[in-house]
Structure 1
Amino acid sequence: MKKRLAANLQEMTPYNEVPANRWIRFVDTQLGVSYKEHRHRWGEFIYVFQGTLEIKVAGISYVVPPSYAIWLPPYTEHGSLNWGEMSHSVFYIEQQDCMHMPNNTCILMTTPLIRALLQHLRQNPPDFPLTEENRHLLLVLSEQLKHADVIDSYLPTTSHTALAELLDYLQAHPACTDSLAELADRVHMTEKTLTRYSQKELGMSLHEWKQRMKLMHAIKMLEQGCTVESIALSVGYSTPTAFINMFKKRMHYSPNQFRQLVQA
């Protein structure tokens, strides 16, 4: 599907001017957008309100779903793309003010206070020169980022041929209920070998990867207006209650609360 969409991607020029030590901008796109690889002297905290962002750093693709963010330390060479409608913010922090941030690229799960600050700034985007109030809000946002939980990669990928083939199959069939033994047999492995490769290549169990993948499918369907009942069946849950419990555990919101959040 990505190959069919590639012809419609709009290539954008990287943003190269930051007027203050801390600066934020908000970006809404209706079509697929890509940025060629580039880097800046400042760090970037990129938060996704709606849609899914994919950023590539040193050959690794980081997938960022709504309510998550990615941190790019200063001088990190990166390119990005999204395949459709998306809304996100980019918070720029000058290098000397990044001491409290992670040293490596990572996915961040934001706190309720961070999300509230971002929503407020989104509704009242700052102009330059910054007012004292906006300068203070951006400083508070910067300080609060140290409390965001770090995740190495939300939905990691692999160059291992057999495992990559299996991940493609699971993404195409999110309701798949095959056992680990059945999945291992599909790629001609033993359960033990598949378990070992999953941990080595993905940094997590195959079960955890499947749960994250199901969550991303569910998020897309919520954005499309699908009912909770239909989403539960589409991602392999026999009852809406089981799906709702999983969603709340991982996103800290019920599916309908999350739908309202991304549509706000």
Structure 2
Amino acid sequence: MTVDNLPKLAPIEIGYRVDPALPIIPFAMEVSRAGCAAPHAHPRGQFIYASSGVMRVVCRRDVWVVPPSQGVWVPPEVDHEVYFPGDVSLRNLFVDPSRTAALPVECAVLKVSPLLRELIVRAVEVGDDYRPETPPWRLMMVVLDELACAEKTPLHLPMGRDERLLRVMEALLREPGDRREIEAWAAVAGASVRTLSRLFQRETGLSYGAWRKRLLLQTALDRLDRGESVTTVAFDLGYQSLSAFIEMFRQALGAPPGQYARQSGQSTSTGRCRK
């Protein structure tokens, strides 16, 4: 199913509610196979986060696939669309324009640390029933601090728009460990190898091989963050040997997966902003 065929959702009205006394208005929703009716913008900034499931976020010319280890920050008054090809537990934060100065001025994919994840869960429980200088209000201010400290991830996965390219991408998103080469995928796309290669480069800025490696890395990071073993992740992603997976990971991120996971946990568990 391509995004054009998904049932359409109206924009969330909370985004248009300007009230400095409510620095954050959280929003929770269970969504299944749906998407925005049209590109839209609103006065509040929006941190788009799914605690489970994968989203596709379109922000101006960028199209990203976003797993639960990441979220997308959309500044106020920036056109965007969101699609949910599967089942998604949506946990959004709508930030009043009076509180966005410390946040990115452009759309950005941000890493969701364990601390930020728990803060979002708690914020959703609070909702918009709070007043300035109360404990719930102070919670929202901590959430803002954590958002300002969140690391931008270099591993966002750009998506294409051409239907032939999307057939291949969506098949790989369903099964990242599929090891077929581009010649086999060309038949799936209904295009020549040359055309498919050109579509990858033109619409994502990456070759097929580079795009697929980024998908593997993103999938691996998400699963490692969930506590899965390096061995399980490596073989599920189609690697014939654990050493080959570790070497690919090390070359891309500068550390083997076990060390990277430990460093990530140490840097995010304290909640300290290093900016």
TM-score by length of 1: 0.68
| Displacement after TM superposition at 1:121 (Å) | 2.6
Which position in structure 2 is the counterpart of 1:84? Answer: 86
Deviates more, 1:69-78 or 1:201-210: 201-210
CA shift at 1:38, angstroms? 1.5
Instruction: Report the CA distance between 1:77 and its aligned residue.
Output: 1.1
Q: Give the CA deviation at 1:129.
A: 3.9
Q: Structure 1 residues 65 and 113 mapped into 2: Cα distance closer, same or farther (>3 Å)?
A: same
Counterpart of 1:261 in structure 2 is: none
Give the TM-score, by structure 2 length: 0.65
- Secondary structure of the residue aligned to 1:84 is strand
Tell me how far 1:176 sits from its aligned partner.
4.2
| Paired residue secondary structure (2:32) | coil
Aligned position for 1:62: 64
- Report what 1:12 is aligned to: 10
Question: Using a 3 Å threshold, how does the CA distance of structure 1 residues 161 and 14 change in structure 2: closer, same or farther?
Answer: closer
Q: What residue in structure 2 maps to residue 214 of structure 1?
A: 216
**Map of 1:105 onto structure 2:** 107
Q: Which runs of 5+ in 2 are unaligned?
A: 250-255, 263-275
Matched residue, 1:117:
119
Deviates more, 1:73-82 or 1:175-184: 175-184
Classify the secondary structure of the residue corresponding to 1:99.
coil
Alignment correspondent of 1:258:
none
Equivalences for residues 111-150 of structure 1 within 5 A: 111-129=113-131, 132-150=134-152
Amino acid at match of 1:145: L
Seq. identity, %: 24
- Asked whether the equivalents of residues 163 and 187 of structure 1 are also in contact (C-alpha less than 8 Å), the reply is no
Q: Which residue of 2 aligns with 1:31?
A: 32
Give the conservation status (yes or no) of the 8 Å contact 1:62–1:153. no
Partner residue, 1:72: 74
Deviations 1:216-262 (A, max 9, x none): 6679999xxx9998865442123679779969569948xxxxxxxxx
Amino acid across the alignment from 1:14: I
Find the counterpart in structure 1 of residue 252 from structure 2. Answer: none
Deviation at 1:12, TM superposition (A): 3.0
Shift of 1:107: 0.6
Instruction: Kindly provide the amino acid, as one letter, of the partner of residue 9 in structure 2.
Output: E
Q: CA, structure 1 residues 81+21, in 2 after alignment: closer, same or farther (shift >3 Å)?
A: same
Contact 2:18 2:97 in 1 (8 A): no
1:33–1:81 contact (8 Å) kept in structure 2: yes
Q: Give the conservation status (yes or no) of the 8 Å contact 2:230–2:258.
A: no
Conservation of the 8 A alpha-carbon contact between 1:111 and 1:147: no
1:22 aligns with 2:20: no
Decide whether aligned partners of structure 1 residues 153 and 129 sit closer, same or farther in structure 2, where only a CA change above 3 A counts.
same
Aligned partner (choices 220, 236, 239) of residue 238 of structure 2:
236
Q: Tell me the distance in 2 between the aligned counterparts of 1:115 and 1:244.
A: 27
- 1:63-93 per-position Cα deviation (integer Å, ceiling 9, x unaligned): 2210211011111011222123211222222
Match of 1:120, SS state, is helix
Q: How many residues align?
A: 245
> Offset at 1:58?
2.2
Correspondent of 2:98 among 82, 88, 96: 96
